Amino acid sequence: MYLPWFDIEVKHQFFTSGMHRTFTVSPTLRTEALAAALGLSTRQTPDGIRVSYESRRLAALHGHAEPPTTALSLGFKLDTPDHLFARYTEPSCADDCLFYFDQRCAQEESAERSRLHRDAQVSGHEIEPLLSPRVDALLEPTERAAPPLGVIGISLSPADGPLTYAIRFAARKTFWTYYLLGRFARDGLYMEDAKGETEFESLGEVTLPGHRVARAFRTTSRLPLQDRYHNRFQIIDPAAHGDSVLMARMPGAEVRQTYQERRHGTDVAVSEIFIRGLTPAKSS
């Protein structure tokens, strides 16, 4: 019979469910060999991995960690095939670096749960050069040749558990710029948030590629990218009899339409959203 020892749970703020379904957490080559020798079992879970031990081989597990309070060192690789991950994630990680999580630096949140990063969400403190000694201690040269997104070091004694170690990634925040085209490009219209949580500034009339004329509005604060939005951004026409809502729920930012823009000497992330207002057909 296998008994749970610990779980590694990975969440991402970009997903409204919190669950990033393309994340994989897998043992390193060294840990695979150790698990086979000690009768450890690893099983993928919807949000990470579960490590269990075979109850009848507990004596062998204690024997490997002599005395029993001695910690066993295990390593895991965190990865995703999603090539857009860096676009919707903060912080960004350079190509010659990876995310490094060390259970010995975990922040306890309860008796059974700790997070594997210093702040509430993953930050720059968890970024490590790929060629650092700490990464060398976990990965074989063949694993570094095609490096994962991150590595996780767990040091536990057989007497510990069951425990859960959490990793929480933050969603990237961007300024949202709306370009209103067609009949929405006329002067006098404005944007507002029906919930009163976000404010917009007018950028006036702009000319887009192809000599298209648009009226642009930008959020005054950065907003997190998400897979689904519940915003209530609207286009308002004040010239009608009382303010008239021309569009009651505008679409949110898309990951693929996010760019770096130079502003006041600083690079900022900007998401562009294009709203086409079709001119109603004239009745004959």
Per-residue pLDDT of the chain (284 residues; tens, 9 = 90+): 888 899 999 999 999 888 877 899 999 999 999 998 888 999 999 999 999 988 776 666 666 655 545 568 899 999 999 999 999 999 999 999 999 999 988 999 999 999 999 999 999 999 999 999 999 999 999 999 999 999 999 988 767 778 999 999 999 999 999 999 999 998 899 999 999 999 999 999 999 999 999 999 999 999 999 999 999 999 999 876 777 899 999 999 999 999 988 888 888 999 999 999 865 544 44
Report which of 142, 132, 99, 144 is spatially closest to residue 8, judged by C-alpha positions. 99
Residue 55 has a pLDDT of: 76
Residue 63 — φ and ψ, nearest 5°? -65, -35
Which residue has 């004329």 as its token pair? 213
CB proximity list for 53: less than 8 A, separation 6 or greater? 2, 3, 5, 38, 39, 40, 41, 61, 158
Residue 63 has a pLDDT of: 62
Q: How many residues does the chain have?
A: 284
For residue 8, with 0-12 CB atoms within 10 Å meaning exposed, 13-18 middle and 19 or more buried, which class applies?
buried
Residue 144 — φ and ψ, nearest 5°? -75, -20
Give the residues across from 268 on adjacent strands: 261
Residue 190 CA to residue 201 CA, distance in Å, equals 9
CB atoms within 10 A of CB 79: 18
Residue 262 has a pLDDT of: 85
Residue 226 has a pLDDT of: 95
CB proximity list for 190: less than 8 A, separation 6 or greater? 200, 202, 217, 235, 236, 238
Sheet of 127-129, strands arranged across: 24-27, 72-79, 150-156, 97-102, 127-129
Write out the two tokens for 23.
């994340």
Residue 228 CA to residue 238 CA, distance in Å, equals 29
The whole-model pTM stands at 0.87
Write out the two tokens for 27.
């043992």
Give SS3 for 136: helix
Write out the two tokens for 251.
């679409």
Residue 67 has a pLDDT of: 54
